Amino acid sequence: MPQRFNLVLRGGHVVDPANGTDARMDVGLRLGKIALVAERIDDELADDIIDVIGKIVMPGHIDTHAHLSGPFDQSGTRAYGHVMLAKSGTTTALDLAGEPGALAEGMKRKGAGMNVATILGLVPHTTIKEDDPGIGTMRDVVSDALERGSIGVKLLGGYHPFTPESTSQVIAAANEQLAWVAFHVGSKDSGSDLIGLREVPEITGNGRLHVAHINSYCRGLVMDNLEECNEAFEIIESKRSQFVTEAYLAQVNGTNGKCDEDGNLVYNVAQNCMRARGYATTDAGMRQALLDGYGGALTERGGRIVIVTGEEAVRIWEEKSTDASLSFPVNPATSAFSLTTAKYDDGEFRVDAVSTDGGSLPRNVAIERTMALVDFGALSLLEAATKLTYTPSRMLGLLNKGHFSEGADGDITVINRETGKATLSLVNGEPIMINGRVVGNGGTWLVKSEAEKTAASSGLPYQVIDLEQSKLYAGWR
């Protein structure tokens, strides 16, 4: 008797780099899994059919750098990122610098049906007790974070830098426990720019590391931004088997405008934003930058986060005593193009994935900007899917995602070819977004085995993942 399908996506342009599929096909799903990809599936065998003729159908977008919670997110606004990401077509996300309890609570209150993992942001006197933790402290911090539901930790060098020696100890402690470890580069000896990136190979030693948003260090602060890209490629290549990387394609960044008692900007990232346009790195410089419309402040409006400028931005910044989330257009398009499309001689991309660094930040444009590169002729559709879904699945060790092989998870993103925007996304065969309207809720919490008890008691669906299968730890043991 012929097999039946719970759902068939009819007549879309199916793009699956893992299987070399780049053609008009039907996709059949059964019990949340891919059951068949074929030129034609009989209507009589389908319980439900969705017409996707003229649209691109690829495995669900996996965002390897998003923001959905955080140890410093007292207002809980980052939870809005679940809906914002799902609206853009993302199906799986890594919350980079989160807090596991806040993530779980956010999934319950504002979840959108995605698969989500988080890593703990390391903030002195908030998530760790010391300014420059040693390996003993970090072993305990990593172990506790894993038990509470993080899959690892993130170094926030652009905001809370450690000494190079302490930074190295953090990486070593995470590697020992096969925990994810990401680095927004910068130490007490450098900044969050190319100079900070130059430190990373020595800091990493023989370890493994996720170098976060490589584009953030190619903004032209040290030399011409394309020269910075070329040096970044050399640095990545020097540790090719040890680093995983991603870049985002939005022009705007995200930062914080906090000033100290003397009126000086506290964080290196915000200081860099001011220097890029010749503003003073002070409260007066920040106020003028906001009034001029160069920068904006983030605020909640209509169930999502938006960027406002001018006097409204200044008011928000001042009402929060300068400790406010801000955004500046500091990412050159030429850097984004170079970092996204460059390859090694063997054809592998130099930068693994396209991320958003978004979620709760209004820059969830990974899919539409990558499709713009396809329109421009810089990427093929298969290459776009490689950057958006297949390589990210390998990065995280989610081996049942990122492809349409029989039995793979039924996570799918459908894209309007004309606009480049996602119009439909499914997780485990169920729609979570339809024509820009988010219909999913909750989500699946991705954790390591150390957190199985915590995840089970949360009431959320969860999945235990094995980072030994990830690209980060490939060949580690």
- Region 346-369: mean pLDDT is 97
Residues 350 and 213 in one domain: yes
- Region 120-138: mean pLDDT is 94
Task: Answer yes or no: is 101 within a domain.
Answer: yes
CATH number at residue 74: 3.20.20.140
- Of 304, 327, 350, which closes a domain? 327
DSSP string, 273-295: HHHHTT--SBHHHHHHHHHTTSS
Residues 160 and 242 in one domain: yes
- Measured in degrees and rounded to the nearest 5, phi and psi for residue 467 equal -70, -10
Residues 276 and 215 in one domain: no
388, with CB counted inside 10 A (0-12, 13-18, 19+), is: buried
Task: Answer yes or no: is 26 within a domain.
Answer: no
CB 55 within 8 A of CB 423: yes
Q: Angle at which helices 81-88 and 100-110 pack, to 10 degrees?
A: 70
pTM value is: 0.97
pLDDT at 328: 97
Residues 301 and 180 in one domain: no
pLDDT tens figures, 208-251: 999 999 999 999 999 999 999 999 999 999 999 999 999 999 99
Tokens of 390: 């297949």
Helix (H, G, I), strand (E, B) or coil at 384: helix
Tokens of 76: 């809980």
pLDDT tens figures, 45-73: 999 999 999 999 999 999 999 999 987 66
Name 244's bridge partners: 210
What is the residue-averaged pLDDT of the chain?
96
Query: What is the count of structural domains for the chain?
Result: 2
Task: Answer yes or no: is 125 within a domain.
Answer: yes
- Region 307-334: mean pLDDT is 96
Residues 17 and 403: their CA atoms lie apart, in Å, by 7
Rg of the chain (C-alpha set): 22
Task: Answer yes or no: is 214 within a domain.
Answer: yes
Residue with tokens 């990974």: 366
Task: Answer yes or no: is 420 within a domain.
Answer: no
- Region 288-302: mean pLDDT is 95
- Of 274, 296, 327, which closes a domain? 327
Question: What DSSP state is assigned to residue 383?
Answer: H
Task: Answer yes or no: is 194 within a domain.
Answer: yes
pLDDT at 70: 84
> Is the C-alpha dihedral spanning 180, 473, 174, 465 positive or negative?
positive
Work out the percent of the chain whose per-residue pLDDT is above 70: 99
Q: How far apart are the first and last CA of the chain?
A: 46
Residues 335 and 253: their CA atoms lie apart, in Å, by 14
Tokens of 201: 């190979």
Q: Is the pLDDT of residue 75 over 80?
A: no
Q: Is the pLDDT of residue 76 over 90?
A: no
Residues 99 and 212 in one domain: yes
- Region 101-114: mean pLDDT is 96
Q: Is the pLDDT of residue 174 over 60?
A: yes
The size of the chain, in residues, is 477
Task: Answer yes or no: is 31 within a domain.
Answer: no
In this prediction, residue 165 has a pLDDT band, given cuts at 50, 70 and 90, of very high
Q: Is the pLDDT of residue 147 over 60?
A: yes
Tokens of 156: 């926030």
Residues 83 and 191 in one domain: yes
Residues 417 and 421: their CA atoms lie apart, in Å, by 8
CB 115 within 8 A of CB 446: yes
Show the CA angle centred on residue 98, arms to residues 368 and 249, nearest 5°.
20
368, with CB counted inside 10 A (0-12, 13-18, 19+), is: middle
- Region 111-132: mean pLDDT is 96
Assign 3-class secondary structure to 390-406: HHHHHHHCCCCCCCCCC
Q: Is the pLDDT of residue 37 over 80?
A: yes
pLDDT at 77: 79
CA atoms within 13 A on the CB side of 434: 6
Task: Answer yes or no: is 429 within a domain.
Answer: no
Q: Is the pLDDT of residue 1 over 60?
A: no
Residues 265 and 218 in one domain: no
Residues 156 and 168: their CA atoms lie apart, in Å, by 13
Q: Which residues contact 72 (CB under 8 A, 6 or more apart)?
A: 121, 123, 126
Residues 247 and 261 in one domain: no
- Region 395-409: mean pLDDT is 98
Residues 88 and 110 in one domain: yes
What are the b/e assignments for 51-83, b being 16+ CB within 10 Å? ebeebbbbbbbbbbbbbbbbbbbeebbbbbbbb
Residues 246 and 312 in one domain: no
Tokens of 60: 């669900």
Tokens of 361: 């930040």
Helix or strand run (H / E) with residue 38: strand 33-38
Q: Where are the alpha helices (DSSP H) in 328-462?
A: 333-341, 366-376, 381-385, 391-396, 452-458
Residues 338 and 390 in one domain: yes
Range of the domain at 87: 60-251+331-396+440-477
Helix (H, G, I), strand (E, B) or coil at 453: helix
Q: Where are the alpha helices (DSSP H) in 33-89?
A: 81-88
CB 92 within 8 A of CB 62: yes
Residues 274 and 292: their CA atoms lie apart, in Å, by 12
Tokens of 210: 């996720």
Residues 174 and 266 in one domain: no
- Of 284, 306, 327, which closes a domain? 327
- DSSP3 helix / strand / coil % (the chain, rounded to 5): 35, 30, 35
Helix or strand run (H / E) with residue 137: helix 135-148
